[in-house]
Amino acid sequence: MPHQISLQPGGQTFTAGEDQTVLEAALAAGLLLPYGCRDGACGACKGKVVSGEVRLGSHSPGALSAADAAAGLTLFCRAHACSDLVLEARNVSRAGDIPVKKLPARVQKLELAAPDVMVIELKLPASEPFQFRAGQYIDILLADGQRRSFSIANAPEGADHVELHVRRIDGGRFTGQVFETMKVRDILRFEGPLGTFWLREDDARPIVMVGGGTGFAPLKGIIEHCIAAGIQRPITLYWGARNRAGLYMDELARGWTQQLPGFRYIPVLSEATAEDAWSGRSGLVHAAVLEDFADLSGHAVYACGAPAMIEAARTSFTAERDLAGEHFFADAFTFATPT
């Protein structure tokens, strides 16, 4: 039996079937709630149940703590309606301006950027335009119906391809294919664009970006969009990796300081080796932000990487540096269980 769902403060309404999550039902109704991973890992879709009852599926404790649940919060990507609901959800928009499509794409470039990172360029079909916002992601559609999500690493301006940064996962089915058997001219199918991780251009706040590993990819797309569109907001990019090889586009990032006024780049290594000969910042990437900023109340933060890094950044920036929760935008990378 479908349930009626109402959103506050916007007043939007839609219905959800028993087999749909709140997020799935909202998207089907053309409403774009904030979301990222869709796996209950990033917390981007967290909102309050004002009235009614939901059944919550599996999720990361870091995305929804016991205290959150006690306060009536839930994750819309994992919550099923058990009754009519009134939910508190902010930054809701209409999804109809950029359509989500399923398209074929041809592999036009494979470049090993690091021992465990492959950069893939997928040529988009000339017969059907593909629009996206910088920072969004696509799902690669596998033959058995499974999906693998990857952020788009290039800007939308003039794009005839999408760039993906794929980290090799031991035992990973798709990443094994990428590193072992994929060839230029192979055809893949994908669905997108997906996610709400994109630059809020109606906000003039200075930006702090925090990327861990291949979480650099969507941040790269946003920065290149700023360059192409002439957006001149102060941006400080913190890119964290274990070792120097993990900063697989370090020179590109350093070059942005010459292209984008007000841009700063701060690489951070957590496990630098003697061979790295590293004299830069060390430790956890979110801790470097805490060292540099005593107050984030006037900033917007865009963070992308592992769920643990996202949650550590969210918690410390809001609790210790007065960052407003609505100005923390995140995309948490989760990985399919190897088979």
Percent of the chain whose pLDDT exceeds 90: 74
Which fold, 207-332?
Answer: Rossmann fold (3.40.50)
Mean predicted confidence (pLDDT) in 202-221 = 97
What's the confidence (pLDDT) of residue 336? 53
CB 35 within 8 A of CB 23: yes
Enter the CATH code of domain 101-194.
Answer: 2.40.30.10
171-184 exposure pattern, b = at least 16 Cβ within 10 A, e = fewer: ebebbebbbeebee
What's the confidence (pLDDT) of residue 99? 86
Would you tell me which CATH number, out of the four given (3.10.20.30, 3.40.50.300, 1.50.10.10, 3.40.50.720), belongs to the domain 3-94?
Answer: 3.10.20.30
Sequence ranges of the chain with CATH classification 2.40.30.10: 101-194
Confidence tier at 338 by pLDDT (50, 70, 90): very low
CB 256 within 8 A of CB 262: no
pLDDT in tens, 133-159: 999 999 999 988 899 999 999 999 999
pTM score, whole prediction: 0.84
Distance, in Å, from the CA atom of 60 to the CA atom of 43, rounded to the nearest integer, reads 9
